[in-house]
């Protein structure tokens, strides 16, 4: 018992010593005088510590002694270390933390998608499956963008008409390099299609205004296409339909560091022309073929070298009743050829990121306008265009700290065009040299800015321009952000209108305000914009040669006195949460625009601009049925139309006169598509097959795009779609890549 008593006494003595040797450390942690909860406070190189409560207070005890370091750390805040000296007395140590600023947490600028090369700053990111599963898009990127706010419904001409701008005011880039002639060659009244396969790209970022200083020569907007790096595995796929045949092979090496691929396709609308009731009298149905190839190499440092090249040819011929008294029929025929090459390289060198690239485009367009009477040709007018374009670009980027970035570079665009209009011939050569710089400044995670500028010189115009651009973003709350953007944008007059260098750059000033909310599965976006146009070109008729054949006088520019504006509001709502397994979005655009440009006799609402546009898109995949259902609906207020003629005034001077005008009936279209995926649910499926049925304008609405007039203006015919309701069926089979999960997750 005595031994036990002694042991107990010793234990009491030791316990008392330990209690006496403990030191209490306490304090408060704040950020901008506000208490911080859940901040870890630890004694460095020990297990002693605590976590702050709701009031930012902490307390713990330690048996350590001597000079130590107290560490304060927490999510989204910079770690702080403070020295303390433990001498057995209570220690009170307060700390003030700083917000951790980095790219992941920082608020992003989304007004007009000013950073077009960064996905998280995009108006909308459309994956290939998003494009393929939007009913009415027909698998085309440009058509899918038509269901986003700001894009006008212009069916008679190819191009992206954005916020009151013409199709020529939107430029398209692939891996940072300019793409000339993105659309196939076309005839008046029938729009060309996208030239590139949608699956070639892993991301498609659309900037509807206020875009980055890295891009130029676009008064309205830019579309940035980013090609895939490496395929998932070696694969082969093909597609079969009444319209086209296509095949694609991609080879990936065993180390998964390089790949190459080839693809080809042939299309012909002839069979569908016999099955459907076409509005257009095709004497030769649209047909064409194309081939492309690529290679991709991943460097040892994780960079990429990527090449893509393509060649294609298309042709068609369209007949129509003549509006002129001395002829009874017109015929326009087309033969087009195109070649495109794109080479890009990106690599990190220490703190620097280098992006360089170049592209080359060759395009040949041969149009022939003929008139007939009693099946005998009366006249013919050939119009041919041959063009060569070279683009080269280099961008060097460096991080200034954990978040802020500075980038700078240069770009060269060389154009060489030859145009023949009957006996008239014109040559156009221009080299546009551009220099740009911009910086992303992230002040806090809730406040960031972008400031940049671009300078360009046109050798043809023999002039320089300078365009500053700036944007600001502020996070109001975890879900709400607001952005502002401003910029000046320049663009050369379209080369087809100018025959001397007595012109200047066309100009547009963008002002954009945006409020956006992003929550789990839902997003809401409101944007207001104002664009002021200046130095737009004004045109007059070159001559009246063969007017009945072309139904349009050839226009030439005579000065830069044109002007205009575009203002409006846009709403975008996307919801993947409210309805089970249904992804839908709604958009509304209001546009008020007027222009005095080209042959307009005075300021008019552009004939490609609709005041009100509404879109609805919905997608649902039913797994048990292995089937996806897609709907889209578009409504736009009727666009204005004009018949503008050139005639002599009392002084014998040629002037443009508004001979007839009005407003088209409202445009509307309901589209539907269904996709059946039989491989869903099959384990270790070696092939992936999709059966597609799509119907554009399922209700058969008879939409009108405008009117063609006779030379005296007394007769006219409507410009209408080639077919009111179009039906497509096809089968797509892929070997080597199991896309089952993609099909489900992306609502195929």
Give the mean pLDDT of 212-229.
Answer: 91
Q: How confident is the model at residue 687 (pLDDT cuts 50, 70, 90)?
A: low
Q: How far is CA 326 from the centre of its chain?
A: 48
**Residues 527, 513: contact at Cβ < 8 Å?**
yes
Q: What is the pLDDT of residue 18?
A: 43
Whole-number percent of the chain with pLDDT over 70: 89
What local confidence, expressed as pLDDT, does residue 232 receive?
81
Cα separations in angstroms, 654 against 177, 246, 345, 561: 42, 52, 52, 17
What six digits make up the tokens of 3?
Answer: 């031994």
DSSP state of 99: B
| pLDDT tens column, 707-733 | 999 888 889 999 999 999 999 888 888
Going by pLDDT thresholds of 50, 70 and 90, the confidence category of residue 21 is low
pLDDT bracket for residue 6 (50, 70, 90): low
Which tens digit of pLDDT belongs to each residue from 635-652?
999 999 999 988 877 777
* Confidence (pLDDT) at 379: 87
Q: For residues 481 and 395, which has the higher predicted lDDT (pLDDT)?
A: 395
pLDDT at 13: 41
CA angle, 39 then 45 then 50, to 5°: 30
Statement: the pTM of the whole predicted model exceeds 0.75: yes
- Whether the per-residue pLDDT at 535 is higher than 70: the answer is yes
Check pLDDT > 70 for residue 684: no
| Inter-residue long-range contacts of 714-717, CB under 8 Å, 24+ positions, other chains counted | 715/323, 716/323, 716/643, 716/660, 717/320, 717/321, 717/323
Q: CA of 695: how far to CAs of 465, 629, 710, in Å?
A: 47, 12, 35
pLDDT score of 550: 38
Across the range 225-254, mean pLDDT stands at 89
Measured between alpha carbons, how far is 304 from 284 in angstroms, rounded to an integer?
44
Concatenate the DSSP letters of all residues of 120-172 into one string: GG-S-B--HHHHHTSTTSTT-HHHHHTTSTTB----SS-S--BTT--GGGEEE
Mean pLDDT score, 194-216: 85
Query: Residue 177 in contact with residue 117, Cβ under 8 Å?
Result: no
Separation in Å, CA 403 to CA 108, 109, 300, 347: 11, 14, 25, 19
- Section 218-246 average pLDDT: 89
Q: Average of pLDDT values for 426-432? A: 94
Residue 19 pLDDT level (bands cut at 50, 70, 90): very low
Higher-scoring residue by pLDDT: 736, 306:
306
| Contact indicator for 142, 155 with CB cutoff of 8 Å | no
pLDDT at 500: 84
Which of 293, 297, 296, 295 has the alpha carbon at shortest distance from 309?
293
Report the pLDDT averaged over residues 117-126: 44
Burial annotation 206-244 (CB, 10 A radius, 16+ → b, else e):
bbbbbbbbbbbbbbbbbbbbbbbebbeebbbbbbebebb
CA-CA distance, 106 to 202, in Å (whole number)?
Answer: 25
Can you tell me whether residue 528 is helix, strand or coil? strand
Reduced to 3 states (helix: H, G, I; strand: E, B; else coil), residue 720 is coil
* 3-state DSSP assignment of residue 725: coil
The C-alpha atoms of residue 190 and residue 720 are separated, in whole angstroms, by 9
What are the φ/ψ torsions at residue 187 (nearest 5 degrees)?
A: -110, 160
Q: What is d(CA 216, CA 213) in angstroms, rounded to the nearest whole number?
A: 7
Mean pLDDT in residue range 367-382: 90
Closest CA to 498 of 429, 398, 442, 549: 429
Residue 650 CB: number of other CB atoms within 10 A? Answer: 6
pLDDT for residue 390: 97
Beta bridge partners of 532: 509, 565
Judge whether residue 1 has pLDDT over 60: no
Four-residue CA torsion sign, 74, 80, 81, 85: negative
Confidence at residue 546, expressed as pLDDT on a 0 to 100 scale:
37
237 bridge partner residues: 248, 734
| pLDDT tens digits, one per residue of 156-166 | 999 999 999 99
Q: Does the pLDDT of residue 556 top 90, yes or no?
A: no
Percent with pLDDT over 90 in the chain: 52
Confidence of residue 615 (pLDDT cuts 50, 70, 90): very high
pLDDT grade for 680, boundaries at 50, 70 and 90: low
- Enter the DSSP assignment of 42: E
Backbone angles phi, psi at 142, to 5 degrees: -60, -35
Q: What is the pLDDT of residue 106?
A: 44
* Max CA separation in the chain (angstroms): 136
- Average pLDDT on 439-464 reads 91
Using the Cα atoms of residue 537, residue 540, residue 544 and residue 547 in order, give the sign of their dihedral: positive
Average pLDDT over residues 496-504: 89
Beta bridge partners of 413: 391, 432
Q: Are 365 and 212 in contact (CB under 8 A)?
A: no
């Amino acid at each position: 018992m005595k031994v036990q008593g002694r042991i107990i006494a010793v234990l009491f003595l030791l316990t008392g010593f330990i209690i006496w040797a403990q030191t209490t450390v306490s304090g408060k942690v704040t950020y901008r005088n506000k208490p911080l909860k859940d901040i870890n406070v630890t004694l460095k190189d020990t297990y002693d510590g605590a976590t702050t409560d709701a009031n930012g207070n902490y307390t713990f005890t330690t048996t350590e002694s001597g000079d130590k370091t107290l560490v304060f750390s927490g999510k989204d805040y910079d770690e702080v270390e403070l020295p303390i000296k433990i001498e057995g007395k209570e220690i009170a140590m307060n700390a003030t933390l700083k917000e951790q600023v980095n790219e992941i947490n920082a608020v992003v600028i989304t007004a007009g998608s000013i950073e077009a090369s960064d996905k998280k700053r995009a108006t909308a990111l459309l994956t290939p499956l998003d494009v393929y599963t939007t009913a009415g898009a027909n698998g085309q990127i440009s058509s899918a963008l038509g269901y986003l706010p700001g894009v006008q419904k212009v069916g008679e001409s190819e191009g992206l008409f954005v916020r009151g701008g013409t199709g020529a005011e939107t430029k398209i880039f692939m891996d940072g390099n300019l793409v000339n002639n993105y659309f196939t060659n076309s005839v008046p009244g029938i729009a060309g299609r996208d030239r590139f396969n949608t699956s070639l790209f892993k991301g498609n970022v659309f900037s509807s205004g206020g875009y980055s200083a890295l891009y130029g020569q676009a008064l309205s907007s830019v579309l940035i296409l980013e090609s895939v790096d490496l395929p998932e595995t070696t694969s082969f796929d093909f597609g079969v339909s009444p319209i086209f045949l296509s095949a694609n092979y991609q080879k990936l090496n065993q180390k998964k560091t390089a790949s190459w691929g080839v693809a080809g396709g042939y299309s012909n609308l002839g069979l569908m022309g016999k099955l459907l009731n076409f509005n257009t009298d095709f004497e030769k149905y649209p047909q064409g073929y194309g081939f492309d190839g690529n290679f991709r190499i991943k460097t040892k440092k994780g960079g990429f070298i990527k090449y893509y090249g393509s060649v294609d040819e298309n042709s068609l011929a369209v007949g129509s009743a003549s509006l002129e008294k001395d002829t009874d029929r017109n015929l326009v025929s087309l033969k087009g050829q195109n070649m495109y090459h794109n080479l890009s390289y990106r690599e990190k060198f220490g703190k620097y990121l280098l992006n360089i690239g170049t592209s080359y485009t060759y395009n040949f367009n041969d149009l022939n306008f003929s008139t007939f009477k009693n099946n005998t040709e009366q006249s013919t007018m050939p119009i041919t265009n041959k063009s060569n374009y070279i683009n080269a670009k280099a961008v060097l980027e460096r991080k200034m700290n954990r978040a802020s970035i500075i980038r700078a570079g240069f770009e060269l665009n060389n154009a060489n065009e030859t145009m023949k209009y009957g006996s008239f011939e014109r040559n156009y050569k221009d080299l546009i040299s551009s220099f740009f710089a911009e910086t992303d400044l992230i002040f806090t995670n809730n406040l960031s800015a972008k400031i940049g500028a671009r300078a360009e010189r046109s050798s043809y115009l023999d002039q320089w321009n300078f365009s500053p651009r700036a944007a600001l973003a502020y996070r109001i709350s975890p879900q709400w952000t607001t952005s502002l953007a401003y910029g000046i944008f320049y663009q050369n007059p379209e080369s087809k209108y100018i025959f001397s260098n007595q012109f200047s750059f066309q100009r547009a000033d963008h002002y954009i305000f945006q409020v956006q909310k992003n929550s789990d599965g839902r997003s809401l976006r409101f944007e207001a914009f104002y664009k002021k146009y200046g130095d737009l070109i004004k045109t007059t008729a070159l001559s009246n040669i063969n007017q009945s054949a072309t139904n349009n006088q050839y226009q030439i520019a005579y000065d830069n006195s044109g002007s205009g504006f575009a203002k409006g509001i846009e709403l975008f709502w996307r919801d993947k949460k409210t309805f089970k397994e249904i992804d839908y979005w709604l958009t509304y655009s209001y546009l008020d625009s007027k222009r005095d440009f080209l042959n307009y006799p005075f300021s008019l609402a552009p004939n490609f601009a609709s005041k009100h546009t509404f879109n609805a898109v919905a997608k649902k995949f039913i797994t048990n049925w292995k089937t996806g259902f897609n709907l889209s609906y578009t409504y736009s207020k009727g666009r204005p139309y004009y018949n503008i003629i050139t005639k002599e005034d009392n002084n014998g001077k040629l002037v443009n006169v508004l001979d007839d005008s009005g407003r088209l009936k409202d445009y509307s279209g309901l589209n539907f598509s269904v996709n059946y995926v039989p491989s869903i649910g099959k384990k270790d499926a070696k092939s992936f097959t999709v059966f597609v049925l799509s119907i554009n304008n399922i209700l058969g609405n008879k939409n009108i795009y405008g009117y063609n007039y006779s030379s005296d203006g007394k007769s006219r015919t409507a410009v209408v779609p080639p077919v009111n309701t179009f039906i497509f069926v096809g089968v797509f089979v892929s070997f080597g890549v199991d896309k089952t999960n993609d099909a489900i997750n992306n609502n195929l």
